[in-house]
Structures are given as C-alpha cells and as structure tokens.
Amino acid sequence: MADQGSQRRADVMGRWLPAIEDALAAGPGSVESSDTADPVRVDAHLAAAECPAGHLAPQDDFRDSARAAAREIALETLRRHRDGAGRDDGGRNPSAPARDAIAEVASTLCDTTIFRPGLGEWLDQLDRAERAAVTAAAASWMVDALALTSRNGEPHWHGPGHRLRKLRSAPVTIAARVDASRRTRSGIHLLVLSPGARGTDARLARRIALVTAAAHGEVPVEVHIGHRDTLARYRHPIDDAELDSAVVELTDDAGWRLKPSTAPRHPGRSCRWCTLAENCPEGTQHLAATKGAPIPPWLVDAAQSDSGDGGDPTM
C-alpha cells in the first residue's frame, strides 16, 4: 500500500516537475542565462500580487512586526494546541472554544526557541506592551483561522514555513505557503488565509497546487482561499487544465523574478505605499487620477489651488 502511494507520488512529480522545467527552458531565456549564483525563489504569493512590479520592487530592510509575525505565531499555536491530526498527542484540543486563543498564544510565546531564530530573538526583546500587541495580532489571526475552518471540522494545521522545490535545470526554487489541510476520501484539500479579495485568488490557488504537486507528489482536490476581512472561504477545484495554466504563469513569474524591470505594472491601491514611487509612470498617473478620491479631481484641484492663495473658491 505504501509502495503504491510512493509510486503515485513519484508519478505526479515525474509529470509536473519536467513540465515546469521544460516551460522555464522554453520560456524566458533569461532564466538559463542568468548569472545568479543562488537559485531565486519564485513564491506562489507573487501570483497573488495585484502589481508584480510593485511586489518585486526593492523593499526597505525586513523588520519583524506584530502584523508580520501574527501568522507564524498563530500557526505554531494552532499546531501545538489544536491540531486535528494530533488529538491524542500532548493534550491538544482542536474543539476548544475560540476564547482560549489568547491564553494559548501566550503559552506559545513562553518558549521563543520554537520560532525561526530572527523571530525568536525579536520576541525576546519585546516589552510588556509590545508583547500585548503581538499577542493581539496573533490571537486575531488565530480566531479568524478557526472561524474559517469551523464548518468542516478539524484541519491539520501546517507550519509557517514554505513548501519548496529546487529545480535542477534552472536557478529557480519554487515555493508556496499552506496554512492548513484536510484529507478526505477524494484527496487532500488545502487552505490558505489571505487578508481579503484581490481578484487573484484563482491564480494563487492553482500555483499552490502546482508547487504541492511538484514538491510533494500530490495534486490537491481543491485549494480554499479564506478571506480574513469577510470570513468567507472560496473553493478552487484543481484539475490538469488549472495546473497547465499555473505552469505558464510560473514561467512568467520566474522571468519577472529574475529581471524585475520586465514585470508588468498594474496600478491600484498599493501605489500609495509602493517603493517604486516616482519611478513608475503608471503608478504616478494612477495616483494623480485618483487624488482626493472619491471626490472629482477638478474639485480637489480647485480646493488645493484656492486654499493656497487663501481665497474662497466660489468667489
């Protein structure tokens, strides 16, 4: 039985890994000709970016924050206290009421050695108020996750790390994050939480499925994207056609990741805090067009120019 499972996984990987590698080899020539020493990571969440160019723009130095750490801490807490797969292990209680979330997060934070080194050291430096902010963010994430999974029973909560697969034929590592999974007779169903609807859910879902197929040898039946702002969960069934689309999209993303200047620019809400700022004509144009929104721009212009000379704009 175990051999059959291994063979099946090998078959899945044997189909989708070469498909990705062939597409990358035939796609952006830059992938093979890149002089990058280390493989670049092409994250599935690039597929969810509204604006690939903005997403790939150089960022300020990464700093841990309550918001950034919330998911990691919440997932560790869910794994330690709630995991449906570990009901008889270590006193876990998947069906404990959500109100226990704060106490469980506080308990998880007592041992910071379980987190990646950077995060653990950062948590150790926090004072009481900062720790409260981190607890609040993590407990809120955790209660949202419990709300999004409450109808279908207890899932298996995943670690905060990525699923990774380094490709042999290209300097690329493909990556995806999965927050929870549930196994049924039909196969495995994955869940990923997102802040809210972005119009790129389907893209993200099939990319996560592709990385799972290539890295773990299993094609998920469905990928569910749960929106934290609406607490709604959307199912994205996965089939071969979806995975084929994901391969094509992955090729584009890998090319953009290696040469960020070629990434398309899709102006939108994120332009306000994008680090490309004045170097992006599309973003600048979008900001000018939506300046003062939802008020019509001519009224905003009039108000700004008239406030400058102190006159009444209607006189």
Q: Which of 37, 110, 129, 288 binds other proteins (CB under 8 A)?
A: 129
CA angle 183, 187, 192 (to 5 degrees): 60
Q: Which of 37, 196, 278, 288 binds other proteins (CB under 8 A)?
A: 196
Q: Report how far apart the first and last C-alpha atoms of the chain are (Å, whole number).
A: 85
* CB of 72 closer than 8 Å to CB of 119: yes
DSSP for 288-300 reads HHTTTTTS-HHHH
C-alpha count within 13 angstroms, C-beta hemisphere, residue 158: 16
Residue 296 binds to other proteins (criterion: CB under 8 A): yes
**Minimum Å distance from CB 72 to other proteins?**
17
Q: In sequence order, what are the beta bridge partners of 224?
A: 191, 235
Q: Which of 10, 68, 197, 248 binds other proteins (CB under 8 A)?
A: 197
**Between the CA of residue 186 and those of 175, 183, 235, what are the distances in Å?**
25, 8, 15
- Rounded Cα–Cα distance for residues 142 and 155 (Å): 13
Residue 281 binds to other proteins (criterion: CB under 8 A): no
Residue 307 binds to other proteins (criterion: CB under 8 A): yes
Nearer to other proteins, 12 or 106 (CB): 106
CA 243 to chain centre: 18
- Rounded Cα–Cα distance for residues 262 and 278 (Å): 17
Residue 133 binds to other proteins (criterion: CB under 8 A): yes
Residue 68 binds to other proteins (criterion: CB under 8 A): no
Q: Which of 26, 68, 231, 248 binds other proteins (CB under 8 A)?
A: 231
Residue 26 binds to other proteins (criterion: CB under 8 A): no
Going edge to edge, which strands form the sheet with 172-176?
A: 40-43, 172-176, 163-166
| Pair of tokens at residue 22 | 């062939």
Nearest 5°: phi and psi at 205?
A: -60, -45
| Pair of tokens at residue 248 | 């094509």
Q: In sequence order, what are the beta bridge partners of 225?
A: 192, 234
Q: Which of residues 241-260 bind other proteins (CB under 8 A)?
A: none
Nearer to other proteins, 135 or 251 (CB): 135
Q: Which stretch binds other proteins (CB under 8 A): 72-80, 243-251, 273-281, 292-300?
A: 292-300
Nearer to other proteins, 279 or 285 (CB): 285
Nearer to other proteins, 157 or 256 (CB): 157
Residue 292 binds to other proteins (criterion: CB under 8 A): yes
Residue 112 binds to other proteins (criterion: CB under 8 A): no
Report the amino acid identity of residue 259.
Answer: K
Q: Which of residues 74-103 bind other proteins (CB under 8 A)?
A: 97-99, 101-102
Nearer to other proteins, 16 or 122 (CB): 122
Positions touching other proteins (CB under 8 A) are: 97-99, 101-102, 106, 128-129, 131-133, 135-137, 139-140, 143-144, 146-150, 195-197, 228-231, 289-290, 292-296, 298-300, 303-304, 307, 310-315
